[in-house]
Chain A
Amino acid sequence: KQEVTQIPAALSVPEGENLVLNCSFTDSAIYNLQWFRQDPGKGLTSLLLIQSSQREQTSGRLNASLDKSSGRSTLYIAASQPGDSATYLCAGSGGSYIPTFGRGTSLIVHP
């Protein structure tokens, strides 16, 4: 069974800082890993999807990497802005094929 862990649970940073969110998974036979953003009271918005054959994906100020051997994915946010404040979740699809979610990192970017 795939288990996904996100550390830290919460993070507060000043505007402009570059930051890294971490996602660990137990099943190295992962098929893909997806990063989401969730604003309070809202649904999940897909940010990036990394296939097992890829090492990273980029979208604007976001860069996600995948290291299957170490069981880790990171989401790098460059030049953070207050509008980046949200909860960020990762989900890994592994041997059971159904995506399994971490509990998320709650990010606050203060002006």
Chain B
Amino acid sequence: IAGITQAPTSQILAAGRRMTLRCTQDMRHNAMYWYRQDLGLGLRLIHYSNTAGTTGKGEVPDGYSVSRANTDDFPLTLASAVPSQTSVYFCASSSLAGVTHNEQFFGPGTRLTVL
């Protein structure tokens, strides 16, 4: 593994189903993030984690949950998917210098369609 991997690459999901998007990094970065990208709205932060064991809410957290059991993995769960969650989801990571977030690195994305 080099950098950040995301799985699956794409998924079509029925509304109401539960779905977990996976993200793994091998750079030993403290901080990890989940963004969604929608046409006309840009990238919006869903949740983030500054270190293993802690998480925080971003701009659009409703309907999503995350966990950070270890440094490398940061899964994003949709408990009951709705069509408005159709989007492209990006995972990112960075190191931290004190409270400063350093250079971010992004995964290739997961394209999710909720019908």
Residues of B within 8 A of A102 (CB): 42
Interface size on B, residues (CB 8 A): 23
B108 pairs with A43, CB closer than 8 A: yes
Shortest beta-carbon distance, A96 to chain B, in Å?
10
Q: Is B90 an interface residue (CB 8 A)?
A: yes
B100 pairs with A32, CB closer than 8 A: yes
Bound Cα distance from A99 to B92, whole angstroms: 11
Bound Cα distance from A19 to B4, whole angstroms: 31
Give the contact-size bracket for chain A.
20 to 34
- Chain B residues 32 to 49 lying within 8 A of chain A, measured CB to CB, are 33, 35, 40-43, 45, 48
Bound Cα distance from A89 to B35, whole angstroms: 14
A49 pairs with B58, CB closer than 8 A: no
Residues of A within 8 A of B64 (CB): none
A49 pairs with B42, CB closer than 8 A: no
Per-position 1/0 for B6-35, Cβ under 8 A of A: 000000000000000000000000000101
B102 pairs with A97, CB closer than 8 A: no
Q: Is A78 an interface residue (CB 8 A)?
A: no
Counting chain B CB atoms within 10 Å of each CB, the highest count among A31, A45, A91, A99 belongs to: A99
Residues of B within 8 A of A89 (CB): 42-43
Per-position 1/0 for A31-69, Cβ under 8 A of B: 110101000001111100100000000000000000000
Per-position 1/0 for B89-101, Cβ under 8 A of A: 0101000000111
- Chain A residues 72 to 111 lying within 8 A of chain B, measured CB to CB, are 89, 91, 93, 97-104
A residues near B, CB below 8 A? 31-32, 34, 36, 42-46, 49, 89, 91, 93, 97-104
